[in-house]
Structure 1
Amino acid sequence: MTDAPTGREERFFALVLPALERAGYTAYGAQAKLVADTGMNKTTVSRLLRGETIPHVKSFPALARALGLDPVELLVAAEIVPPEYLESQQTLSETDRSQVGSGSITPEEAAEQLGIHDDVGKFTFYAVVDKLTNRDDADDATPGDATAQA
């Protein structure tokens, strides 16, 4: 018998399950495509599609890309980072459009500008930046080594 879903799981699946359906991953035989598109294993994908388990955070960038979602939305829905991170990101994109792409900054500078000050939040942010920059040597580097675009 499985445990009842927590509020965290309910929020995560309320975001992810409709996105999975919109992206066509709930159709018969689509599980293998989701495995291929995200790199998650079959068991994790099966449990995700049944709304049983939130996957590991390292899968969030690929899952977000496959579903057409913002990885930060997944982090917020899974309560890995507080909602203020998403609000900070939206505020930046809505009010400082003229500065987007104006130069490179480090992930550390980006975290500071976004108001991410706690160690867990910084580590998670750096890991997402590293994953999203698709660096070939990402497995060998420590989070925070990459240069991010602001």
Structure 2
Amino acid sequence: MRSTEDAHQGDRAMRQAQARRVGAYLTAAATAAGYDVRRRKGGRAQLASLTGLSLTTISRTLDGRTLPLPSQLAKWATVLNLDHRTMVVESGLIPEERGPAPARREAVSAALSPDEAMNAWGITDPIIRRTLNGSIVHAITLQEEIDATYAWEAVARG
């Protein structure tokens, strides 16, 4: 029979392994998003600024020395433009079979969302993504206004 001390060490080893998996996942995701997260290259400081987390927290998480809190994971997902649910499964925080079912999206057309288009174009910089997304949303709103004006004019002409 194992002692409680042995059980505690086993839990600690599991948490350390999980922290390493999450750190490796977030390092890969940050690198894919265009951040150079190697030490003293600026990417870690950028992530700290964008997430609102301390540089120490960012470094310890990327290095696999600590597990992020759920609120911190949400910040990572937002900044790296990751799906929150997918991230917790792919990072190994929860096993895939226990993970939430992926959201089902019915295809209503071949049109892409702004995020899907930016992903397809390989645009990963968060500032460029926000700027482009704002421009796309604005353009869609303007087009809808123009379409509504033409529709109204057509009704008025009879």
Calculate the TM-score normalised by the size of structure 1. 0.49
Highest CA radius of gyration, 1 or 2?
Answer: 2
Query: What TM-score does the superposition give when structure 2 sets the normalisation length?
Result: 0.47
More helix by share: 2
